[in-house]
Amino acid sequence: MPFAAEPDDALEEGENQQLLLATKGGPALEGLVVGSYCHDVLIRGGRVVGETLGGAAAFVSNVLDAASPREEEQEVAPFVVVSKVGHDFAYASAPAPARRPPLRCASPTTSFHAQFSEAAASAHAPDRELRRVRPCDPIYPADLPDRRFAYGLAVGVAGEVLPETLERMIRLCRAVLVDAQALIRAFDGDGAVCHVSLEDTPYARLLPRVAFLKASSEEAPYVGVETARRRCCVIVTEGRDGCRLCWDGGEARVAPFPAVQVDPTGAGDSFLAGFAAGLLWGLSATDAALLGNFFGAAAVSQVGVPTFHPKMLQAVKEILEDKTTKRTSPCINGTTFTLERSNMHDELHTALQEASRLMSEQQQADPANGNDGDICST
Ligand SMILES: Nc1ncnc2c1ncn2[C@@H]1O[C@H](COP(=O)(O)OP(=O)(O)O)[C@@H](O)[C@H]1O
Ligand SMILES: O=P([O-])([O-])O[C@@H]1[C@@H](O)[C@H](O)[C@@H](O)[C@H](O)[C@@H]1O
């Protein structure tokens, strides 16, 4: 069972039964995603080349809906999104916000300008410069539903997940996964995204109560991986090179999936959601990171929030149904997870590679999803 009650927040026996995580055939359990939808404007060579729905919550919802285990009769995956937008929000009818509508507030929707470089990006170098041109209101603890959740994802993009909001999530959720971009982003006078050291933020003291912290290789130096891995499991994503997991006493590298990158936006978000879905299926963290890499690769293959072909999703579901088994787990931060790769890790990678081939075929058959919209190359 991957998730168990936190020792400082123990539940009554009956409640514990209800909160046991669904692996195969178990009761579906609810997740809590906290972070705002936003407007993304993609710019290349001084020209606007795309305007899309953004915000980690949009990419995360898309992948959780596609890949979480759920009962046949459930139309959507069991999770709620707490997000804030203004009355100018342009994507209320897009699938993610339509399914899980954001809270409305008086300030405008968060908006980012992503400036893509003319030079080809290397695997680890930043391929875009982000500027927050408008911030929406923060998400306060009182905005969160007052009930227990099996898991939580803290996925702010513009500083909207306040330290007290993350603390409330930790109290409500049996395991919390955090994207470092929610914690260490700062914005200069012009709105340009820069980073502060995690250790210097009020979030640092919460790390021992977080299960997984995901950072991109650009963010990793600000997270301080060697310190953070003693408090929780840290996952560093490395673009087309895949990712590595570091925990107290071990580490693992997880191979990527091939992709033709047309827009890097949302790769990290989609990774984190794929990883969370993998844990929900009962995979070890290192095996779940394969599902993270799979959905990260899927995200870069399309502009904006990607559409997944039903055949590809069916193939992924069959693979997961075939490969997942319940196993006993070691304890991390009072929440139990298996971290190491299992002996079917390579088989799972090979099987998912087959599914990723289906994804490339889909793109070739539907050029609207493919290189026609490429904003990465001239
Ligand atoms: N060009 C690519 N080819 C294949 N997979 C990719 C590519 N870019 C990103 N990914 C996948 O998405 C994950 C997150 O991407 P990364 O660029 O590291 O994060 P971020 O979007 O936060 O900068 C990577 O770990 C990898 O699995
Ligand atoms: O690309 P990624 O790092 O996974 O996540 C992105 C954020 O960094 C960005 O601020 C936001 O505007 C995008 O919509 C997306 O959420």
Q: Which residues line ligand 1 (CB under 6 A)?
A: 216, 237-240, 242-243, 256-257, 259, 261, 264, 267-268, 271, 293, 296-297, 300
Q: Per residue in 193-210, pLDDT tens?
A: 999 999 999 999 999 999
What is the pLDDT at residue 92? 98
What is the pLDDT at residue 364? 72
Q: Does the active-site annotation cover 65?
A: no
Mutation pick for ligand 1 pocket among 40, 193, 195, 216 (CB with most ligand atoms within 8 Å): 216
Average pLDDT score, the chain: 87
Residue 104 backbone phi and psi in degrees, to 5: -100, 145
What is the pLDDT at residue 23? 35
Q: Per residue in 339-368, pLDDT tens?
A: 999 999 999 999 999 999 887 777 777 655
Q: Which residues line ligand 2 (CB under 6 A)?
A: 38, 40, 54-56, 59, 112, 130, 157, 181, 265-269
Q: What is the pTM of this model?
A: 0.91
Residue nearest to atom 11 of ligand 1 (CA): 296
Distance, in Å, from the CA atom of 5 to the CA atom of 16, rounded to the nearest integer, reads 7
What is the pLDDT at residue 361? 78
Q: Is the pLDDT of residue 77 over 90?
A: no
Q: Is the pLDDT of residue 69 over 50?
A: yes
Q: Is the pLDDT of residue 10 over 80?
A: no
Quote ipTM for the complex: 0.99
Q: Would you place residue 1 in the very low, low, confident or very high pLDDT band (cuts 50, 70, 90)? A: very low
What is the pLDDT at residue 325? 67
Q: Would you place residue 181 in the very low, low, confident or very high pLDDT band (cuts 50, 70, 90)? A: very high
Count CB neighbours of 310 within 10 A.
9
Question: How much distance in Å is there from the Cα of 355 to the middle of ligand 2?
Answer: 25
Does domain 7-373 fall under CATH 3.40.1190.20? My reply is yes
Mean pLDDT of 178-196: 97
What is the pLDDT at residue 7? 37
Closest CA to 160 of 84, 239, 257: 84
Q: Per residue in 210-236, pLDDT tens?
A: 999 999 999 999 999 999 999 999 999
Q: Is the pLDDT of residue 176 over 50?
A: yes
Return the HEC string of 40-99.
EEEEECCEEEEEEEECHHHHHHHHHHHHCCCCCCCCCCCEEEECEECCCCCCCCCHHHHH
Distance, in Å, from the CA atom of 125 to the CA atom of 146, rounded to the nearest integer, reads 41
Distance, in Å, from the CA atom of 98 to the CA atom of 53, rounded to the nearest integer, reads 12
Catalytic residue among 188, 269, 287, 374: 269
Question: How much distance in Å is there from the Cα of 67 to the middle of ligand 1?
Answer: 18
**Close Cβ partners of 222 (under 8 Å, ≥ 6 residues apart):** 180, 184, 195, 196, 197, 198, 215
Distance, in Å, from the CA atom of 112 to the CA atom of 130, rounded to the nearest integer, reads 7
Q: Is the pLDDT of residue 308 over 90?
A: yes
Mutation pick for ligand 2 pocket among 181, 261, 376 (CB with most ligand atoms within 8 Å): 181
